[in-house]
Structure 1
Amino acid sequence: MGMKGKIALGAVVSFVVIGVVSANGNGNGDGSASDSGKHSSASAQNDSGGKKTQAAEKKAAFVGYGDFRVGSDVKPGTYRTTGNTDGMCYWERAKDAKGETDSILANDNVSGTSYVTVKATDKIFKSTGCKDWEAVDLKAKGTPASTMAGDGGMFRVGADIAPGTYRSTGNTDDSCYWERAKDADHALRSIIANNNVTGTAVVTISASDGYFKTTGCKAWKKTG
Protein backbone atom coordinates (compact mmCIF):
# COMPACT_ATOMS: atom_id res chain seq x y z
CA MET A 1 0.00 0.00 0.00
CA GLY A 2 3.06 2.25 0.10
CA MET A 3 4.29 4.86 2.50
CA LYS A 4 1.86 7.66 3.29
CA GLY A 5 4.49 10.05 4.51
CA LYS A 6 7.19 10.74 7.02
CA ILE A 7 6.41 10.39 10.70
CA ALA A 8 7.68 12.88 13.26
CA LEU A 9 6.95 14.43 16.63
CA GLY A 10 5.23 11.38 18.02
CA ALA A 11 2.35 11.71 15.59
CA VAL A 12 2.13 7.96 15.36
CA VAL A 13 0.02 6.69 18.21
CA SER A 14 1.40 3.20 18.60
CA PHE A 15 3.31 4.17 21.72
CA VAL A 16 2.43 5.75 25.02
CA VAL A 17 3.55 9.25 25.94
CA ILE A 18 2.10 9.77 29.39
CA GLY A 19 2.74 13.16 30.97
CA VAL A 20 5.06 14.45 28.28
CA VAL A 21 6.54 17.89 28.75
CA SER A 22 7.02 19.14 25.24
CA ALA A 23 10.38 20.34 24.11
CA ASN A 24 8.93 20.55 20.64
CA GLY A 25 6.18 23.16 21.03
CA ASN A 26 5.93 24.48 17.48
CA GLY A 27 4.73 27.90 18.30
CA ASN A 28 2.07 28.49 20.88
CA GLY A 29 -1.14 26.62 20.26
CA ASP A 30 -4.28 28.58 20.25
CA GLY A 31 -5.87 25.79 22.23
CA SER A 32 -8.43 25.53 19.53
CA ALA A 33 -10.65 22.60 19.47
CA SER A 34 -12.74 21.80 16.52
CA ASP A 35 -15.89 20.06 15.68
CA SER A 36 -15.16 16.51 15.79
CA GLY A 37 -14.99 13.61 13.78
CA LYS A 38 -17.52 10.97 13.46
CA HIS A 39 -20.44 13.12 14.25
CA SER A 40 -19.94 15.52 11.43
CA SER A 41 -22.16 18.50 11.45
CA ALA A 42 -25.74 17.64 10.79
CA SER A 43 -26.58 17.46 7.13
CA ALA A 44 -29.11 19.78 5.65
CA GLN A 45 -32.60 18.35 5.79
CA ASN A 46 -33.28 18.58 2.08
CA ASP A 47 -35.34 16.07 0.19
CA SER A 48 -32.97 16.28 -2.74
CA GLY A 49 -29.67 14.44 -2.53
CA GLY A 50 -28.30 16.96 -5.03
CA LYS A 51 -28.98 19.83 -2.66
CA LYS A 52 -27.23 17.99 0.15
CA THR A 53 -24.22 17.44 -2.10
CA GLN A 54 -24.10 21.11 -3.00
CA ALA A 55 -24.23 22.04 0.68
CA ALA A 56 -21.36 19.66 1.45
CA GLU A 57 -19.30 21.04 -1.41
CA LYS A 58 -19.84 24.57 -0.16
CA LYS A 59 -18.35 23.64 3.20
CA ALA A 60 -15.12 22.23 1.76
CA ALA A 61 -12.19 24.57 2.37
CA PHE A 62 -9.73 22.53 0.30
CA VAL A 63 -9.40 19.05 -1.15
CA GLY A 64 -7.73 16.08 0.52
CA TYR A 65 -4.83 15.74 -1.90
CA GLY A 66 -1.97 18.17 -2.41
CA ASP A 67 0.56 20.54 -0.92
CA PHE A 68 -0.94 23.85 0.18
CA ARG A 69 0.88 27.10 0.97
CA VAL A 70 -0.24 28.52 4.28
CA GLY A 71 -1.48 32.07 3.91
CA SER A 72 -2.23 31.85 0.19
CA ASP A 73 -3.73 28.40 -0.52
CA VAL A 74 -4.85 27.71 3.04
CA LYS A 75 -5.64 30.28 5.70
CA PRO A 76 -4.50 29.69 9.29
CA GLY A 77 -7.26 28.08 11.33
CA THR A 78 -8.69 24.77 12.46
CA TYR A 79 -9.85 22.25 9.86
CA ARG A 80 -11.57 18.85 9.91
CA THR A 81 -11.65 15.85 7.58
CA THR A 82 -14.20 13.09 8.15
CA GLY A 83 -15.11 9.68 6.76
CA ASN A 84 -11.56 8.42 6.22
CA THR A 85 -11.06 4.65 6.21
CA ASP A 86 -8.16 2.20 6.59
CA GLY A 87 -5.67 4.81 7.77
CA MET A 88 -5.02 5.92 4.18
CA CYS A 89 -5.39 9.62 5.01
CA TYR A 90 -2.07 11.31 5.82
CA TRP A 91 -1.59 15.00 6.68
CA GLU A 92 1.42 17.08 7.62
CA ARG A 93 2.18 20.55 8.92
CA ALA A 94 5.60 21.67 7.66
CA LYS A 95 7.86 24.62 8.42
CA ASP A 96 9.24 24.74 4.85
CA ALA A 97 8.89 23.06 1.45
CA LYS A 98 12.13 21.08 1.56
CA GLY A 99 10.29 17.81 2.11
CA GLU A 100 12.78 16.64 4.73
CA THR A 101 11.99 14.94 8.01
CA ASP A 102 13.22 18.03 9.87
CA SER A 103 10.62 20.07 8.01
CA ILE A 104 7.74 18.32 9.78
CA LEU A 105 6.05 20.16 12.62
CA ALA A 106 3.28 17.59 13.14
CA ASN A 107 1.59 14.82 11.17
CA ASP A 108 -0.72 11.84 11.43
CA ASN A 109 -2.26 8.88 9.64
CA VAL A 110 -6.03 9.09 10.05
CA SER A 111 -8.93 6.70 10.40
CA GLY A 112 -12.29 8.39 10.76
CA THR A 113 -11.94 12.09 11.61
CA SER A 114 -9.02 14.39 12.21
CA TYR A 115 -8.89 17.99 13.39
CA VAL A 116 -5.80 20.07 12.67
CA THR A 117 -4.94 23.63 13.60
CA VAL A 118 -2.84 25.24 10.87
CA LYS A 119 -0.80 28.11 12.26
CA ALA A 120 0.23 31.36 10.60
CA THR A 121 3.87 30.36 11.17
CA ASP A 122 3.42 27.10 9.22
CA LYS A 123 4.61 27.22 5.60
CA ILE A 124 3.09 24.10 4.01
CA PHE A 125 0.12 21.87 4.77
CA LYS A 126 0.21 18.48 3.03
CA SER A 127 -2.71 16.11 2.64
CA THR A 128 -2.72 12.72 0.93
CA GLY A 129 -5.60 10.28 0.55
CA CYS A 130 -7.92 12.32 2.78
CA LYS A 131 -11.51 13.40 2.36
CA ASP A 132 -11.98 17.11 1.75
CA TRP A 133 -11.11 19.45 4.60
CA GLU A 134 -13.68 21.86 6.00
CA ALA A 135 -13.11 24.93 8.15
CA VAL A 136 -14.28 24.56 11.75
CA ASP A 137 -16.32 27.18 13.55
CA LEU A 138 -14.92 26.90 17.05
CA LYS A 139 -17.88 28.80 18.49
CA ALA A 140 -20.44 26.40 17.04
CA LYS A 141 -22.13 24.09 19.52
CA GLY A 142 -23.17 20.60 18.56
CA THR A 143 -25.22 17.96 20.30
CA PRO A 144 -22.60 16.01 22.28
CA ALA A 145 -22.98 12.24 22.07
CA SER A 146 -22.41 9.71 24.86
CA THR A 147 -20.95 6.99 22.61
CA MET A 148 -18.01 6.92 20.22
CA ALA A 149 -16.80 4.57 17.53
CA GLY A 150 -13.54 3.05 18.73
CA ASP A 151 -11.79 3.81 15.45
CA GLY A 152 -13.51 7.16 14.96
CA GLY A 153 -10.42 9.34 15.22
CA MET A 154 -10.78 12.74 16.92
CA PHE A 155 -13.86 14.02 18.70
CA ARG A 156 -14.28 17.58 19.90
CA VAL A 157 -15.17 17.63 23.58
CA GLY A 158 -18.37 19.51 24.30
CA ALA A 159 -19.41 19.55 20.63
CA ASP A 160 -19.06 15.95 19.38
CA ILE A 161 -18.88 14.12 22.69
CA ALA A 162 -19.93 15.00 26.22
CA PRO A 163 -17.38 15.10 29.06
CA GLY A 164 -17.56 12.15 31.44
CA THR A 165 -16.18 8.68 32.06
CA TYR A 166 -16.15 6.28 29.10
CA ARG A 167 -15.50 2.54 28.86
CA SER A 168 -14.30 0.36 25.96
CA THR A 169 -14.14 -3.43 26.36
CA GLY A 170 -12.74 -6.37 24.42
CA ASN A 171 -9.57 -4.74 23.13
CA THR A 172 -6.71 -7.06 22.15
CA ASP A 173 -2.94 -6.86 21.67
CA ASP A 174 -2.53 -3.22 22.73
CA SER A 175 -4.25 -2.26 19.45
CA CYS A 176 -6.48 0.27 21.23
CA TYR A 177 -4.97 3.74 21.61
CA TRP A 178 -6.70 6.70 23.27
CA GLU A 179 -5.55 10.25 23.87
CA ARG A 180 -6.88 13.29 25.69
CA ALA A 181 -5.60 16.45 23.99
CA LYS A 182 -5.84 20.09 24.90
CA ASP A 183 -5.75 21.34 21.28
CA ALA A 184 -5.48 20.25 17.64
CA ASP A 185 -1.82 21.23 17.18
CA HIS A 186 -0.68 17.58 17.46
CA ALA A 187 2.52 18.55 19.25
CA LEU A 188 3.77 16.46 22.17
CA ARG A 189 2.75 19.25 24.51
CA SER A 190 -0.83 18.90 23.21
CA ILE A 191 -1.18 15.52 24.93
CA ILE A 192 -2.80 15.59 28.37
CA ALA A 193 -2.83 11.80 28.81
CA ASN A 194 -2.84 8.69 26.59
CA ASN A 195 -2.51 4.92 26.66
CA ASN A 196 -2.34 1.70 24.64
CA VAL A 197 -4.86 -0.79 26.01
CA THR A 198 -5.48 -4.52 26.09
CA GLY A 199 -8.82 -5.62 27.52
CA THR A 200 -10.97 -2.91 29.09
CA ALA A 201 -10.16 0.79 28.89
CA VAL A 202 -11.71 3.39 31.19
CA VAL A 203 -10.98 7.10 30.80
CA THR A 204 -12.49 10.28 32.20
CA ILE A 205 -12.73 13.10 29.66
CA SER A 206 -12.78 16.52 31.33
CA ALA A 207 -14.88 19.45 30.18
CA SER A 208 -11.63 21.42 29.84
CA ASP A 209 -10.19 18.89 27.35
CA GLY A 210 -10.13 20.01 23.73
CA TYR A 211 -10.33 16.66 21.96
CA PHE A 212 -10.45 12.92 22.52
CA LYS A 213 -8.69 10.65 20.04
CA THR A 214 -9.37 6.93 19.65
CA THR A 215 -7.91 4.45 17.17
CA GLY A 216 -8.16 0.67 17.01
CA CYS A 217 -10.50 0.45 20.01
CA LYS A 218 -13.88 -1.12 20.53
CA ALA A 219 -16.82 1.25 20.89
CA TRP A 220 -16.82 3.65 23.85
CA LYS A 221 -19.87 4.16 26.05
CA LYS A 222 -20.35 6.82 28.71
CA THR A 223 -20.71 5.30 32.15
CA GLY A 224 -20.76 8.38 34.32
Structure 2
Amino acid sequence: MPQRALPWALIVATTAVIAGAAPAHADPLDPIPGEGFFLVGADIAPGVYNTSGSASAWAVYINDVPTQGSMCVWFTYSTPDANKDHVVATNMSIGPMNVAINSTVKAFESHNCEPWTRVT
Protein backbone atom coordinates (compact mmCIF):
# COMPACT_ATOMS: atom_id res chain seq x y z
CA MET A 1 0.00 0.00 0.00
CA PRO A 2 1.53 3.38 -0.95
CA GLN A 3 2.20 5.91 1.83
CA ARG A 4 0.24 9.11 1.73
CA ALA A 5 1.84 12.43 2.45
CA LEU A 6 0.44 14.39 5.39
CA PRO A 7 -1.45 17.55 4.47
CA TRP A 8 0.70 20.67 4.84
CA ALA A 9 -1.83 22.29 7.22
CA LEU A 10 -1.55 19.33 9.62
CA ILE A 11 2.25 19.56 9.67
CA VAL A 12 2.16 23.31 10.34
CA ALA A 13 -0.48 22.95 13.09
CA THR A 14 1.44 20.12 14.79
CA THR A 15 4.70 22.08 14.65
CA ALA A 16 2.97 25.16 16.13
CA VAL A 17 1.62 23.13 19.05
CA ILE A 18 5.06 21.62 19.78
CA ALA A 19 6.83 24.99 19.42
CA GLY A 20 4.27 26.69 21.69
CA ALA A 21 4.46 24.04 24.41
CA ALA A 22 5.63 25.25 27.78
CA PRO A 23 9.16 24.22 28.72
CA ALA A 24 9.57 21.48 31.31
CA HIS A 25 9.31 22.90 34.83
CA ALA A 26 12.66 23.01 36.62
CA ASP A 27 13.07 21.99 40.24
CA PRO A 28 12.93 24.86 42.74
CA LEU A 29 16.29 26.34 43.67
CA ASP A 30 17.85 25.12 46.92
CA PRO A 31 20.01 26.79 47.89
CA ILE A 32 18.62 30.08 46.62
CA PRO A 33 21.39 32.33 45.26
CA GLY A 34 22.16 35.30 47.51
CA GLU A 35 21.59 37.80 44.72
CA GLY A 36 18.42 38.00 42.64
CA PHE A 37 14.65 38.11 42.33
CA PHE A 38 12.73 34.81 42.51
CA LEU A 39 9.09 33.82 42.00
CA VAL A 40 7.61 31.52 44.62
CA GLY A 41 6.41 28.32 42.99
CA ALA A 42 8.24 28.84 39.69
CA ASP A 43 11.79 29.51 40.99
CA ILE A 44 11.69 28.65 44.69
CA ALA A 45 9.50 26.59 47.00
CA PRO A 46 7.77 27.99 50.08
CA GLY A 47 9.57 27.27 53.35
CA VAL A 48 11.97 28.69 55.90
CA TYR A 49 15.42 29.54 54.57
CA ASN A 50 18.66 30.51 56.33
CA THR A 51 21.69 32.49 55.19
CA SER A 52 24.99 32.92 57.00
CA GLY A 53 24.75 36.66 56.28
CA SER A 54 26.44 39.21 54.10
CA ALA A 55 28.39 38.09 51.04
CA SER A 56 30.48 41.26 51.20
CA ALA A 57 34.21 40.60 51.57
CA TRP A 58 34.47 43.78 53.62
CA ALA A 59 32.29 45.84 55.92
CA VAL A 60 32.22 49.60 56.33
CA TYR A 61 31.06 50.95 59.67
CA ILE A 62 30.04 54.52 60.49
CA ASN A 63 29.69 55.16 64.24
CA ASP A 64 29.74 51.39 64.87
CA VAL A 65 26.85 50.84 62.44
CA PRO A 66 27.46 48.87 59.22
CA THR A 67 26.61 50.69 56.01
CA GLN A 68 23.80 49.38 53.83
CA GLY A 69 26.29 48.21 51.18
CA SER A 70 27.92 45.96 53.78
CA MET A 71 24.73 44.14 54.71
CA CYS A 72 22.64 41.31 53.34
CA VAL A 73 19.08 42.52 52.63
CA TRP A 74 15.96 40.59 51.60
CA PHE A 75 12.33 41.36 50.72
CA THR A 76 9.20 39.21 50.35
CA TYR A 77 6.34 40.45 48.16
CA SER A 78 2.58 39.86 48.02
CA THR A 79 2.69 40.19 44.20
CA PRO A 80 5.03 38.63 41.62
CA ASP A 81 6.93 41.87 41.01
CA ALA A 82 9.48 44.02 42.83
CA ASN A 83 7.08 46.88 43.60
CA LYS A 84 8.17 48.13 47.03
CA ASP A 85 4.49 49.00 47.78
CA HIS A 86 3.84 45.23 48.00
CA VAL A 87 6.56 44.29 50.51
CA VAL A 88 5.30 41.75 53.06
CA ALA A 89 8.51 41.63 55.12
CA THR A 90 12.14 42.73 54.90
CA ASN A 91 15.32 42.55 56.95
CA MET A 92 19.00 43.39 56.70
CA SER A 93 22.01 42.21 58.65
CA ILE A 94 25.67 41.35 58.43
CA GLY A 95 25.12 38.10 60.34
CA PRO A 96 22.90 35.03 59.93
CA MET A 97 19.20 35.46 59.14
CA ASN A 98 16.10 33.40 58.42
CA VAL A 99 13.25 34.21 56.08
CA ALA A 100 9.81 32.55 56.15
CA ILE A 101 8.39 32.27 52.65
CA ASN A 102 4.79 31.08 53.15
CA SER A 103 1.91 30.56 50.73
CA THR A 104 0.92 34.26 50.74
CA VAL A 105 4.35 35.30 49.46
CA LYS A 106 4.56 35.54 45.66
CA ALA A 107 8.19 36.69 45.25
CA PHE A 108 11.50 36.88 47.14
CA GLU A 109 14.38 39.29 46.52
CA SER A 110 17.88 39.04 48.01
CA HIS A 111 20.92 41.32 47.71
CA ASN A 112 24.50 40.87 48.92
CA CYS A 113 23.72 37.66 50.81
CA GLU A 114 25.34 34.27 51.09
CA PRO A 115 23.13 31.54 49.53
CA TRP A 116 19.84 30.73 51.28
CA THR A 117 19.42 27.08 52.36
CA ARG A 118 15.99 25.63 53.09
CA VAL A 119 15.68 24.48 56.73
CA THR A 120 11.95 23.49 56.70
Settle same-fold status: TM greater than 0.5: yes
Counterpart AA for 1:211: A
The alignment-based identity, stated in percent, is: 31
Find the residue that maps to 1:189 and give its secondary structure: helix
Q: Pick the structure with greater CA Rg.
A: 2
1:91-150 deviations in whole A, cap 9, x for unaligned?
xxxxxxxxxxxxxxxxxxxxxxxxxxxxxxxxxxxxxxxxxxxxxx8xx85421221111
Separation in 1, partners of 2:39, 2:81: 13
2:75 pairs with one of 168, 179, 188: 179
Counterpart AA for 1:223: V
Q: 1:164 to 1:185 in 2, by over 3 A?
A: closer
Query: 2:18 maps to which residue?
Result: none
Separation in 2, partners of 1:189, 1:170: 25
Q: How does 1:107-122 map to 2 (within 5 A)?
A: none
RMSD over aligned Cα atoms:
2.1
Q: 1:184 to 1:146 in 2, by over 3 A?
A: same
1:219 pairs with one of 97, 100, 115: 115
Higher strand share: 1
Separation in 2, partners of 1:182, 1:209: 5
Query: 2:33 maps to which residue?
Result: 149
Q: TM-score, normalised on structure 2?
A: 0.62
Counterpart AA for 2:47: G
Aligned residues: 85
Q: 1:157 to 1:184 in 2, by over 3 A?
A: closer
Say yes or no: does 1:197 pair with 2:81.
no
- Could you list the runs of 5+ residues in structure 1 that have no partner in the other structure? 1-136
Contact 1:147-1:161 at 8 Å conserved across structures? no
Q: Answer 1 or 2: higher relative contact order, Cα 8 Å, separation at least 6.
A: 2
Counterpart AA for 1:191: V
Q: 1:185 to 1:148 in 2, by over 3 A?
A: closer
Q: TM-score, normalised on structure 1?
A: 0.35
Find the residue that maps to 2:94 and give its secondary structure: strand
Say yes or no: does 1:165 pair with 2:48.
yes
Higher helix share: 2
Separation in 1, partners of 2:71, 2:97: 12
- Could you list the runs of 5+ residues in structure 2 that have no partner in the other structure? 1-21, 60-65
Find the residue that maps to 2:85 and give its secondary structure: helix
Find the residue that maps to 1:148 and give its secondary structure: coil
Separation in 1, partners of 2:115, 2:81: 25
Separation in 1, partners of 2:75, 2:105: 10
Separation in 2, partners of 1:162, 1:156: 9
Contact 2:81-2:107 at 8 Å conserved across structures? no
